[in-house]
């Protein structure tokens, strides 16, 4: 479904991503791991078009998307959540998700009908599936951190993505919230048939959800493979797992 081939990105002199390779197959849950500064977030920014790659190709369903602006890539079926909470703080929880649903339904330019009459069912169903329906009228900025991270995912679901990218979905969460989020991700993958690409620090989480793991270091791909393959890889053990 998604192929990243030899993608490179540098900021001034710093090579953030240096020839990364990644394959995500339909229906798979893929994790990207690596130490801080390995280039995981930059890689996600490149896939979703927030940054432009210097070299390499990014293919989605066989089509080169590396030159497209973010909003086009979203329309192709890739959406994402962010590591650092990135929501619409002044809007309500409902409106946060509705913005995305309206965009997906191509109704954002409707000028004279009240927004409340659109996309209500879809928005509510998303909020229900992530468990935020009881807080739909709250101002998003006043939610707890954990709820804001969940809202992150809910917004990303608004566009009915085929590929969902989650950047450290459980960062800063309490253990209970983390467990709930893991369950949510599993539910999304099986219930909605989503393909999920995520990165995560906590190895227990990675090994409990992921079916395939890609390991990055200094912007390079060390290996991508199944859980056992990655676990037993010498280089990975030295570079990353061993050091933990």
Nearer residue to another protein within complex by CB, 94 or 240: 94
Near another protein by CB under 8 A, which window of 30-38, 113-121, 198-206, 219-227?
Answer: 113-121
Q: What is the largest CA-CA distance in the chain?
A: 62
Task: Give 213's strand partners.
Answer: 31, 225
Counts of helices then strands in the chain (DSSP H, E): 9, 10
Taking the complex as a whole, the smallest distance from the CB of residue 115 to another protein amounts, in Å, to 5
For residue 1, give Cα distances in angstroms to 30, 76, 157: 12, 12, 18
For residue 38, give Cα distances in angstroms to 11, 33, 41, 43: 14, 8, 9, 9
Residue 141 is a binding residue for another protein (CB under 8 A): yes
Nearer residue to another protein within complex by CB, 167 or 200: 167
Site mask, another protein, residues 52-91, x = CB under 8 A?
-----------------xxxx-xx---xx-x---xxxxxx
Nearest to 52 by CA among 99, 104, 7: 7
Nearer residue to another protein within complex by CB, 196 or 206: 196
Chain positions 120 to 139 lying near another protein, rule: CB under 8 A, are 138-139
Residues 6+ apart with CB under 8 A from 43: 4, 7, 17, 20, 22, 32, 216
Handedness of CA 191, 197, 199, 204 (dihedral sign): positive
Chain positions 175 to 214 lying near another protein, rule: CB under 8 A, are none
> Of these, 113, 242, 243, 244, which contacts another protein (CB under 8 A)?
113
> Of these, 68, 155, 166, 210, which contacts another protein (CB under 8 A)?
155
Taking the complex as a whole, the smallest distance from the CB of residue 82 to another protein amounts, in Å, to 8
Nearer residue to another protein within complex by CB, 34 or 49: 49
d(CA 140, CA 5): 38
Enumerate binding residues for another protein (CB under 8 A).
48-50, 69-72, 74-75, 79-80, 82, 86-91, 95-96, 98-100, 102-104, 107-116, 118, 138-142, 155-156, 158-159
């Amino acid at each position: 479904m998604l192929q990243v081939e030899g993608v490179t990105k540098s900021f001034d002199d710093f090579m953030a991503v240096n020839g990364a390779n990644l394959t995500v197959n339909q229906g798979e849950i893929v994790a990207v791991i690596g130490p801080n500064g390995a280039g995981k977030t930059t890689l996600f920014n490149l896939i979703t078009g927030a940054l432009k790659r210097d070299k390499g190709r990014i293919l989605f369903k066989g089509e080169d998307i590396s030159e497209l602006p973010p909003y086009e890539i979203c329309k192709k079926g890739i959406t994402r959540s962010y590591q650092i909470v990135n929501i619409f703080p002044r809007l309500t929880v409902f409106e946060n998700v509705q913005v995305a649903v309206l965009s997906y339904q191509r109704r954002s330019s409707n000028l004279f009908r009240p927004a409340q009459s659109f996309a209500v069912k879809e928005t509510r169903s998303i909020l229900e599936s992530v468990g935020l329906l009881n807080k739909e009228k709250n101002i998003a900025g006043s939610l707890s951190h954990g709820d804001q991270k969940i809202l992150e995912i809910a917004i990303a679901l608004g566009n009915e993505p085929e590929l969902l990218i989650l950047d450290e979905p459980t960062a800063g969460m309490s253990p209970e919230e983390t467990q709930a989020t893991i369950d949510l991700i599993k539910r999304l993958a099986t219930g909605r048939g989503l393909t999920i690409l995520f990165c995560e620090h906590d190895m227990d989480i990675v090994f409990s959800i992921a079916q395939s793991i890609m390991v990055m270091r200094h912007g390079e791909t060390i290996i991508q493979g199944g859980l056992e393959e990655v676990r037993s890889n010498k280089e990975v053990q030295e570079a990353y797992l061993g050091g933990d």
